[in-house]
Amino acid sequence: MWKDVPTPWRACFEEAWLAYCNGSTPVGAVVVSSTAEIVTRGRNRVYEAAAPPGQVAGTGLAHAELNALLQVGTGDDRLSSYTLYTTMEPCPLCFGAFCLSGLRSLRYAARDGLAGSVNPASMPGYFSSRPFDVAGPFPDLEAVQMAMYTAHIMERCPPDRHAELLALREGYCRSGVRAGLKLHHSRCLLQARQQEWTAGRVFDEVTRLLGVTAATVASQ
């Protein structure tokens, strides 16, 4: 349940829900200090016309991780102690931005079998030789993220692409994809957006649908 979810992940899912509510892909990210303080927040803004100063919107580059990282000052001598949390495995753009940001730790909730590119060892020598600390996915969180992502795909993407976009992800997160299809057919997330549900309420509803207790999330 939401009450068991650590603060960084709560912040990530709050941003993901905001992205969904604004018509963008439901992905959220935060930069967290070594004392668990939220330093910056970012969300996907690909389908939006505007963004706060220092962030990007209305372009295929407007990803959650990039928007979170763009707000971190390059002169901050604590960068190497910060951690980037994100609800979705970063794509090549965002993983590259992470590697260049000065941060060394990354946590991602869900895999992205189509565009995910988290593999420091496969990067050029300049990156692969650095001591990155990468962890993910986290199964309970992955299922919730994949459910929201699936519902978004069904609503936003052309019908002739649904099978392609979901087939690969169903191979590694079947429960999340199936729950997302239920969310879509029941119009649950659309109604939640209209009724201005909080991210916590949405998270608990998706968790209930998945039959996940989220008891193990507290250690993630």
What mean pLDDT comes out for the span 171-181?
A: 93
Q: Identify which has the larger pLDDT, 119 or 214.
A: 119
The model's confidence at residue 217, banded by pLDDT at 50, 70 and 90, is: very low
Instruction: Give me the residue spans of the domains in the chain.
Output: 2-218
Q: Identify which has the larger pLDDT, 164 or 65.
A: 65
Query: Is residue 126 over pLDDT 80?
Result: no
For 6-27, the pLDDT digits (tens) are 999 999 999 999 999 999 999 9
Q: Would you state the pLDDT for residue 130?
A: 76
The model's confidence at residue 199, banded by pLDDT at 50, 70 and 90, is: very high
Q: Identify which has the larger pLDDT, 76 or 143.
A: 143
Distances (CA, A) of 202 to 156, 160, 168, 189: 19, 28, 25, 8
Q: Look up the pTM and report it.
A: 0.92
What CATH homologous superfamily does 2-218 map to? Answer: Cytidine Deaminase, domain 2 (3.40.140.10)
